[in-house]
Amino acid sequence: MRYLAPATALLLLTFCSPRNDNQGGSESASNGAGGMSSHDTMPMAAPPADTTSNPASTPAAILSQMNVANTTEIQLARMATKKASSPAVKQLAQKLAAEHTENRREVMALAKKMNVSLTPQSGGSVSPADSAAVRSDLRTTSGAQFDKAFVEQQIGDHESNIQKIQSQMLPSVQDAQLKTYLQKTVSDMKGHLSSLQQTQKKLST
């Protein structure tokens, strides 16, 4: 969970940014910490380190990144529910939108329980009008071309976000509640990835 940072800074995850004009164009691939990766929807995070010296690994930063990732994925999925021509892609986009919405609710509830703020500086919010996370071909194409581009992007996003959570976030987390949430999110995102790969096969036949 494609089961993802703002353009200036989606993140998580990975949670789930697109690959060329992506979550921005040529600048997306060169953004540093706090910026969007060219392959996920989460803000870039520093390598695992002691949370006292690495603000990107604090609960507030991790949850903020996950909040952005979910928001970006929801925007992309909702766009696909309107633009996709394949019933399979439309159905999958609806599933992604619904499950990332639920995951975002979990992020907000956990942030409240842990008494941390989801801050824009940590990747906590993204404007609904922000199109930086959307590849140019997704904005301009339609029909079968859009279907293939959307699924391809989501596969890359989910793969990257899963890797980011597993290699950067989980090793730095000490809080049991946050660790459980991240582990569940990885499991959900792997389910999304499997569905996306199956849909991609259908589109290629």
Condensed to tens digits (0 to 9), the pLDDT of residues 59-92 reads 999 999 999 889 889 989 999 999 999 999 999 9
Whole-number pLDDT of residue 140: 85
Above 60 in pLDDT, residue 19?
Answer: no
165 band by pLDDT with thresholds 50, 70 and 90:
very high
CA distances in angstroms from 140 to 89, 144, 145, 161, listed in the order given: 17, 12, 10, 25
b/e code 82-91 from CB counts within 10 Å (16+ = b): ebbebebbbe
| Domain 25-204 annotated CATH 1.20.1260.10 | yes
Band of pLDDT at residue 54, cut at 50, 70 and 90? low
Q: Hunting for tokens 């399979």 — which residue is that? A: 88
Distance from first CA to last CA of the chain, Å, rounded? 25
Mean pLDDT of the chain: 76
* Better pLDDT: 66 or 121: 66
Q: CA 180, CA 24: separation in Å to the nearest integer?
A: 32
pLDDT in tens, 36-48: 333 455 554 444 4
**Residue 68 vs residues 12, 15, 115, 197: alpha-carbon distances, Å:** 6, 8, 18, 24
Buried b (16+ CB within 10 A) or exposed e, 49-78: eebeebebbbbbbbbbbbbbbbbbbbbbbb
pLDDT digits (tens, 9 = 90+) for 143-153: 999 999 999 99
**Can you give the residue ranges of every domain in the chain?**
25-204
pLDDT for 57: 79
